[in-house]
Structure 1
Amino acid sequence: MPNPTLKGAVQPGRPRDKALDETILRVTLKLLAETGLESVTMAKICRLSGIPATSIYRRYPDAYSVIVAAIEHDLEMMQMRLPDQGSLRADLLAFGELIARTLNQDRARMLAGMILPMHKDPRLGLLVARKLEDLRSRLWRSIVERAIERGELHGDALKTQPLDEVAQIMIFYQAVVRQKPSTQDFLCELIDNVLIPALASRR
């Protein structure tokens, strides 16, 4: 599949119909989750969206450009805020719920299907990793810093950065391998049995 640029090239012409754009991107994300990146073609996008090929080609030169645009759009829609919940445990639960929404089953399957293609195209891998890394590391640090300010954790807890990776990997595993949602019970077990004990041990 050709991959000329990371950004989907847009062809000049009349003003774009936003509804058509959204439909094209939504259908592409659906195909990515169901069949994987390598199986997404312009023909499939046209058939599933009901949009003529000429309309899609006015916007994107090839399927790869549509895929990149769809992934960028999806990543931009991710919520990146985590207000103070008042306690370490409540903050961690809100963090887990945010990661679980971000790595819902459809998106987790889509990302799992992109692992090999991302190795072939480092630019695509960077696009995804940059957003997820920012989501994970920035929010985790804010949680730990607030807990230190409250006196719930020692300052050394800031050195436990890999713990946020543990949370993300377990939620990803739950969605992709077990094919189950990360329920509140699941998140509470993760928080009470793994995250809080590990954070509290840094003294």
Structure 2
Amino acid sequence: MAAEQTRRRGAALEADILDAVWEELAEVGYGRLTMEGVAARARTGKQVLYRRWPNRAELVKAAMPHRTGFLVDQLPDTGELRADVLAMLRLMVERQREIGPDVIRGLLAEAHELDPKVFGIMYDILLTLLQRAVGRGEIPTADLPRRVVTVPAQLLRYEMILSRGPVADSVLVGIVDDVYLPLLRGHG
């Protein structure tokens, strides 16, 4: 008598799907990743995936924190703006290493398919770091244009697109010391 299979639902099914995303990415890469391949690996129907995620970019975006955690949960608080921003950029580079440049480039190429809210996450994170710096008296205000607030993340994304491997720490230091901190001082 065959063992009766129970139907997976909710968190258990979602975890299996998100695990399957990483297995598929490791085997076929982002360029050849399909909803059908993930569904087959997760032993579910592709309609189950499409009910939760409208496209592969959203599916992979959902799988990222499943694998690496949420950046907002790892928000640095070193007591100094420069060190906080560098720590955040280093976390982003570490995520690039864990996730792989192929996936990062694939997601960036399909950024137009992602929910626009995803791009607000780095604004919120960097704004929090700036508000802390205001509280410590390091900068006069965090009331800055959105583009100014997100400059470090945008420059790092640019470097990730251009680089063949993880972005060097010296590049991160340059983003903070040569661009971001002088920009903030100029807006003070």
Once residues 90 and 106 of structure 1 are traced to their aligned partners in structure 2, the CA distance between those partners, rounded to angstroms, is 28
1:33 CA displacement: 4.8
Q: Gaps spanning 5+ residues in structure 2: where?
A: 1-5
Identify the structure with bigger relative contact order (alpha carbons < 8 Å, sequence gap 6+): 1
Q: Deviations over 1:58-86 (max 9, x none)?
A: xx327756734443232453331313111
Secondary structure, counterpart of 1:144 in structure 2: helix
Q: Deviations over 1:27-49 (max 9, x none)?
A: 3444785316xx62525874xx5
More displaced stretch, 14-23 vs 178-187 = 14-23
Q: What is the correspondence of 1:45-60 to structure 2 with a 5 Å cutoff?
A: 46=40, 49=41, 55-57=43-45, 60=46
Once residues 145 and 38 of structure 2 are traced to their aligned partners in structure 1, the CA distance between those partners, rounded to angstroms, is 45
Q: What is the correspondence of 1:36-185 to structure 2 with a 5 Å cutoff?
A: 40=34, 42=36, 46=40, 49=41, 55-57=43-45, 60-61=46-47, 64=50, 67=56, 68-75=58-65, 77-81=69-73, 82-104=75-97, 105-115=101-111, 118=113, 125-126=114-115, 129-134=116-121, 136-155=122-141, 157-185=142-170
Q: Gaps spanning 5+ residues in structure 1: where?
A: 1-12, 119-124
Once residues 43 and 161 of structure 1 are traced to their aligned partners in structure 2, the CA distance between those partners, rounded to angstroms, is 38
Query: What letter is aligned with 1:165?
Result: T
- Provide the identity percentage: 19
User: What TM-score do you get using the length of structure 2 for normalisation?
Assistant: 0.71
Number of matched pairs: 171
Report the aligned-residue RMSD: 3.3
8 Å CA contact 2:24–2:37 kept in 1: the answer is: no
8 Å CA contact 1:153–1:200 kept in 2: the answer is: yes
1:160 CA displacement: 4.4
1:101 CA displacement: 3.5
1:138 CA displacement: 1.3
